[in-house]
């Protein structure tokens, strides 16, 4: 299968010019540190903060349902916004955006991964059985946010040393976060309206990160939204299939990988019939593997 990130590819917003001013790594590390401590501190506060649960009763598709907005959900959205604003403070300091103020509106795709990681961490913390494990999850989440912020800064300019390595590590982090999210949501077996919405929103954020080097910001928004919508619908359908959590999570990850991969090829203008068949064949082989090793398929 063709690589989704060819060696010569450059971010869509980047136009080769004279050598740019090299980023001040010390200043960026300081900004990343401030943002990370702010996010981690707020996450730690969520362990002790208790807010009232808001319950909404409504009819959806002809059947009454009850939606509970818990303190964890409220904190997840708040911390995601905090992480996104922190990503803006880090990315906007890059010489590329400093030199061309017209490009400032294109920084938003860089918000997606830190926001998704923050949401995932807040959702994972209550699942930990003891305080020690909760602190461990908190530490790993903080490290993931800090690592993503620094790597995002490096991937603004493909001419900077370490660009390809950072891009690869960001891809690994995004897909790993997607797998953890799908396993968590599918194992909880919450109502489809909630689980599908959560998967759709977070999958769209992760897709935006994986696609942002392939096209303009507006196209990234459109494609990421389509990816999130498809994953939300698939989650809704899988909830009617009594699969074990691991198998359901792997199926969601496979669908996410295939859709994002085809979107990347399409944005690069390389989604030919041969490439499409390669994706289909890979999907069939992966599905057979999941059927063989996945319990209860």
Average pLDDT over residues 267-278: 88
> What's the DSSP call for residue 213?
T
- Nearest in space to 28 (alpha carbons), one of 118, 155, 122: 155
DSSP helix, strand, coil percent of the chain (3-state; round to 5): 70, 5, 25
Per-residue pLDDT reduced to its tens digit, 151-200? 998 888 877 778 889 999 999 999 999 999 888 887 766 666 677 888 89
Average pLDDT over residues 137-162: 88
Element (H, E) at 123: helix 112-124
Spatial distance between the Cα atoms of 291 and 297, rounded to a whole number of angstroms: 6
Average pLDDT over residues 30-49: 87
Question: What does the pLDDT read at residue 24?
Answer: 64
CA dihedral 157, 163, 169, 175 (to 10 degrees): 40
Average pLDDT over residues 29-41: 91
Write the CB contacts of 261 (distance below 8 Å, at least 6 apart in sequence).
Answer: 1, 4, 279
Average pLDDT over residues 63-87: 79
Write the CB contacts of 112 (distance below 8 Å, at least 6 apart in sequence).
Answer: 205, 206, 208, 209, 212, 224
- Give the residues across from 55 on adjacent strands: 68
What is the band of 115 on the pLDDT scale with cuts at 50, 70, 90?
Answer: very high
Question: What does the pLDDT read at residue 59?
Answer: 64
Question: What does the pLDDT read at residue 16?
Answer: 44
Question: What does the pLDDT read at residue 2?
Answer: 46
Q: Is the pLDDT of residue 205 over 50?
A: yes
Could you state, in order of their start, the residue ranges of all structural domains in the chain? 24-157, 174-297
Question: What does the pLDDT read at residue 23?
Answer: 53
% the chain with pLDDT above 70: 78
Question: What does the pLDDT read at residue 148?
Answer: 93
């Amino acid at each position: 299968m063709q690589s989704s990130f060819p060696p010569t590819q450059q971010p869509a917003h980047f136009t080769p010019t004279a050598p740019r001013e090299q980023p001040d790594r010390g200043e960026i590390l300081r900004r990343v540190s401030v943002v990370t401590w702010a996010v981690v501190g707020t996450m730690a506060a969520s362990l002790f903060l208790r807010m009232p649960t808001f319950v909404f009763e409504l009819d959806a598709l002809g059947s009454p349902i009850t939606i509970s907005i818990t303190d964890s959900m409220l904190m997840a959205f708040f911390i995601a916004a905090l992480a996104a604003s922190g990503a803006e403070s880090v990315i906007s300091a890059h010489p590329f955006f400093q030199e061309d103020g017209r490009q400032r509106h294109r920084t938003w795709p860089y918000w997606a991964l830190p926001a998704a990681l923050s949401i995932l961490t807040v959702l994972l913390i209550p699942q930990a059985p003891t305080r020690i494990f909760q602190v461990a999850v908190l530490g790993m989440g903080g490290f993931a946010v800090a690592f993503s912020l620094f790597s995002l800064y490096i991937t603004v300019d493909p001419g900077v040393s370490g660009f390809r390595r950072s891009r690869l590590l960001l891809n690994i982090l995004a897909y790993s976060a997607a797998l953890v999210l799908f396993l968590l949501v599918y194992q909880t077996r919450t109502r489809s309206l909630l689980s599908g919405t959560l998967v759709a929103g977070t999958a769209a954020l992760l897709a935006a990160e994986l696609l942002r080097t392939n096209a303009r910001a507006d196209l990234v928004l459109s494609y990421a939204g389509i990816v999130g919508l498809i994953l939300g619908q698939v989650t809704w359908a899988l909830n009617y299939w009594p699969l074990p959590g691991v198998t359901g999570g792997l199926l969601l990850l496979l669908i996410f990988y295939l859709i994002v991969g085809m979107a990347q090829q399409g944005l690069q203008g390389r989604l030919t019939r041969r490439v499409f068949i390669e994706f289909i064949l890979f999907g069939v082989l992966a599905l057979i593997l999941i059927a063989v090793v996945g319990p209860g398929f």
